[in-house]
Amino acid sequence: MNTKRVVTMLIQTVKSEIVSHLSYIIGNNNEAAVIDPRRDCKIYQQIAKNWGAKINYIFETHRNEDYVTGSLELEKLTGATIFHGPGLPWGFGKIIKDNQEINVGTLKIKALHTPGHSPDSTSYVLYDLESGEEPVIVFTGDTLFVGDVGRTDFLGEKMTPTMSERLYDSINDKLLSLGDGVIVCPAHGSGSVCGGKIREREISTIGIEKKTNPMLNLTKDAFIKQKTSEQHQTPPYFMQMEAYNLNGPPILGEIPTPYPLTPSEFKKTAENSYIIDTRTPAAFGAAHIKDSFSLTPKRLLNVGWVADYNKPILLVVEDLHALDFAADNLFRLGL
């Protein structure tokens, strides 16, 4: 039934709810590429298989601080080449140069160095050569969001003004000049700790952002002042993410499957573990295990705030669906 030939330019967004992370797979002419893969990355291979395409490239928009990268897992599955920008240490992948171009079928990806959120921040512009040499989409990573721009405080207070200025220049000189008609695909949606006031809508264009993004209507001085005055939270688990994403996290192949414990096993393990209870607050209030944390599925990100990475986590869940949800999302945080 399948002719195993992708001619259409295909693009699909893969979203991870808890960290509000948006990754993308693009495909054309039996080739595919993934931008910012998440750790449980078989989904990209499945999509590519449905398209009859092979994933040949992985593009990282920056060394992420809020989730575990899936690049190495995906490289192992597919043999794809990993690219990232310069300016930060990376234990894996290749540096892609400013304006370097890579063909994916009849699509073309062009790297634009857009430092500011991170020194290695890189945006990727997609050209559809069928329609000509006009940019169609830009994957902006954490540089430009829908309604906001990236944080500039990760290198510390002293560097924030410098990074803010670099972000301003990257956005104004490199992104806005692509033209109003270019579609903007950012790496995070609303609720991410990587931005402040990211909108609920997850797709935009340069033209819409120029008109409606409050950060794009500031002078350079006002922009830097605004970015320098912002107060962001930096969860303690970001330290572990940095270690993972610098050298590459352990490759597990599969999301570890939690197994059930008998009450006596649970009690024995509990002494040296974090107990996370994802049931409703009402159920937790009615009865719960001593010293357990009540974190509903939507708030599982907060496990990264309370747990360190050296102790096991014991889960108390409502049902198997809740167990899967917790296992998937903790895996993405490296827990």
Instruction: Supply the minimum distance, in Å, between the C-beta of residue 203 and its own copies.
Output: 7
Binding status of residue 132 toward its own copies by CB under 8 A: yes
Q: Is 281 in the site for its own copies (CB under 8 A)?
A: no
Q: x-or-dash pattern for its own copies, window 63-102, by CB under 8 A?
A: ----------------------------------------
Rounded Cα gap, residues 214 and 219, in angstroms: 11
171 binds its own copies (CB under 8 A): no
**H helix runs in the chain, sequence order:** 42-51, 71-78, 160-169, 206-212, 220-229, 237-247, 263-270, 281-286, 303-306, 320-332
Alpha helices in 4-159 (DSSP H): 42-51, 71-78
Q: How many residues in the chain? A: 335
Residue 211 contacts its own copies per CB under 8 A: yes
Q: Give the β-pairing of 54-59 and 122-128.
A: unpaired
Q: Report the alpha-carbon distance of residue 47 to residue 25 in Å, rounded.
A: 8
Q: Kindly state whether residue 322 participates in binding its own copies, applying the rule CB under 8 A.
A: yes
Interface segment toward its own copies; rule CB under 8 A; list 175-183, 234-242, 250-258, 287-295: 175-183
Among 58, 68, 138, 182, indicate the residue that binds its own copies (CB under 8 A). 182
- Find the part of the chain contacting its own copies (CB under 8 A) among 108-116, 160-168, 216-224, 321-329: 321-329
Residues 6+ apart with CB under 8 A from 124: 35, 59, 61, 109, 110, 111, 112, 138, 139
Using the contact rule CB under 8 A, the part of the chain among 69-77, 201-209, 230-238, 299-307 near its own copies is: 201-209
If the CB atoms of residues 68 and 136 are measured against its own copies, the closer one turns out to be: 136
Decide if residue 268 touches its own copies (CB under 8 A): no
Q: What residue type is assigned to position 262 of the chain? A: T
User: Which residues from 145-164 bind its own copies, rule CB under 8 A?
Assistant: 146-147
- 14: which strand partners? 23
State the CB neighbour count (10 A cutoff) for residue 266: 15
Query: By rule CB under 8 A, what count of residues binds its own copies?
Result: 41
CA distance 84 to 63: 8
Of 17 and 242, the one with the shorter C-beta distance to its own copies is: 17
Phi, psi of 97 (to 5 degrees): -80, 160
Smaller CB separation from its own copies, 147 or 150 = 147
Name the site residues for its own copies (rule: CB under 8 A).
Answer: 1, 3, 7-9, 11, 28, 128, 130-132, 134, 136, 146-147, 179-183, 189-190, 199-212, 297-298, 321-322, 325
